[in-house]
Amino acid sequence: MPWLLVVVAGILETGFAVCLKLSHGFTRLWPTIAFACFALGSFGLLTLALRKLDVGPAYAVWTGIGAAGTAIYGMIFLGDIVSTLKLVSISFVIVGVIGLQLSGSAH
């Protein structure tokens, strides 16, 4: 269950990163409100997960999901440049996240 919280928190991290961009420096109301909601949800779920997980692997998985998710979202929906190197790098992040999750840091 704690790893599920980390995964959902990582997905919410993608949401707050995208909304941060869409807020244009907190000058747009709805993306700013969405940013705050996603950020609070993400940090809240990560905090709950850290009651049972080691901080290093959990934080790495959380940031990895957020980074990969944000990069993928940007390429699909925001017109970010797609390159082979970027796709390979995202794949390495995902493989690393899976490896850390499988390392079994639950108490």
What gap in Å lies between CA 105 and CA 59, rounded to an integer?
12
HEC profile of 27-71: CCHHHHHHHHHHHHHHHHHHHHHCCCECHHHHHHHHHHHHHHHHH
CB within 8 Å of 4: residues ≥ 6 apart? none
Q: What is the pLDDT of residue 88?
A: 97
Q: What is the pLDDT of residue 104?
A: 66
Mean pLDDT for back-to-back runs of 10 residues, the chain (107 residues): 95 98 98 98 98 93 95 97 96 89 64
What gap in Å lies between CA 42 and CA 36, rounded to an integer?
10
Q: Which residues pair with 53 in a beta bridge?
A: 106
